[in-house]
Amino acid sequence: MLALAVRRLAGALPTLLAIVAVAFFLMRLAPGGPFDQERVLPAAIEANLRQTYHLGDPLMTQSARYLGDLLRGAFGPSFKYQDFTVTELIWGGLPASLTLGLGAMVIAALAGVWIGLVAALKRNSRLDHAVMAIAMTGIIVPNFVVAPLLTLIFGIYLHLLPVGGWRSAAHAVLPIVTLALPQIAIIARLTRASAIETLGSPFVRTARAKGLSERRVMTHHVIKPALLPVLSYLGPATAGVLTGSVVVEQIFGIPGVVRYFIQGALNRDYTLVMGVVILYATLIILFNLAVDLLYRVLDPKLRTP
């Protein structure tokens, strides 16, 4: 197991390197630079700035220096937020982004599985059809529509929750719900389908035949195999939540990491954009690895004797 983890981590390194390279050269290919602004800088100042940040060097030298910095764990200084390093900026935004992302993932997993199991147990009932229709809508309606709607209903009409900012727990409710809803819908559909398949399998019939209570059949025989496909969906789900947080952080005005990304790309803040891309790519890779390993522990068919 440990050997496998190490092997997979080693396999992830070239991927990460490729991501760094593509992002680095794409950003440098862009027309314009970080010091272009409305007020044209005197040539001497601009030359000085470019020299300070080594922008005059050949691209290969620049990329080699950047890689060297990365290996020492430094993302370099931000080009736009002077006096801040990218690491500081990311650390500043990470608590909000992590609360949002992890909160959404936990809620999505719990609610999605629960709804899916209930729908599977009562399959083809009116409840099942209603729940699955709602889930389909949840998948279809994009989060940039859901977010303003929730704001309108709970913030403006009902005055129940704050609609923006990041000061108290109440501020986190609407953003987390917005992020979680589509994932709840997908996980509920997945759970339902796989639970129905499991319920029809021979070992469940055996369990019932030997007289186990319906409850015990569920807890001891159905839930674990039914959850395996859900587990393997958690990787794509993280990617989905990360993508969604681009919109959610913007709409709800949350001081997270992602808001730096779009602003940074528009400002040609090379190091900041690279920092966010590397952070998120690493998160996705690590999470996929964790899910993979967990899958091997839980699925008896993949267990090595």
Tell me which residues touch other proteins (CB under 8 A).
12, 14-15, 18-19, 22-23, 26-27, 29-31, 136-137, 140-142, 144-145, 147-149, 151-152, 156, 239, 242-243, 246-247, 250-251, 261-262, 265-266, 273, 276-277, 280-281, 284-285, 288
- Closest approach, Cβ 271 to other proteins, in A, equals 14
Helix segments in 53-200, DSSP class H: 59-71, 86-121, 126-140, 143-150, 169-199
Cα 289 to Cα 33: distance, rounded to the nearest angstrom: 37
**Amino acid present at 166:** W
Measured from the CB atom, the residue of 27 and 113 that comes closer to other proteins is 27
Measured from the CB atom, the residue of 41 and 145 that comes closer to other proteins is 145
Burial label for 78, CB within 10 Å (0-12, 13-18, 19+), is buried
Cα 257 to Cα 260: distance, rounded to the nearest angstrom: 6
- Closest approach, Cβ 250 to other proteins, in A, equals 7
Measured from the CB atom, the residue of 27 and 115 that comes closer to other proteins is 27
Measured from the CB atom, the residue of 41 and 156 that comes closer to other proteins is 156
Concatenate the DSSP letters of all residues of 1-39 into one string: -HHHHHHHHHHHHHHHHHHHHHHHHHHHHSSS-TT--SS
Measured from the CB atom, the residue of 118 and 276 that comes closer to other proteins is 276
Residue 162's nearest CA partner among 144, 175, 149, 146 is 175
The residues near 99 (Cβ < 8 Å, ≥ 6 apart) are 172
Q: Would you tell me the crossing angle of helices 270-298 and 258-266 to the nearest 10 degrees?
A: 140
Burial label for 254, CB within 10 Å (0-12, 13-18, 19+), is buried
Cα 222 to Cα 230: distance, rounded to the nearest angstrom: 13
CA angle 243, 148, 253 (to 5 degrees): 60
Measured from the CB atom, the residue of 95 and 142 that comes closer to other proteins is 142
- Closest approach, Cβ 83 to other proteins, in A, equals 25
CA angle 86, 90, 94 (to 5 degrees): 175
- Closest approach, Cβ 258 to other proteins, in A, equals 9
Measured from the CB atom, the residue of 121 and 231 that comes closer to other proteins is 231
Measured from the CB atom, the residue of 23 and 199 that comes closer to other proteins is 23
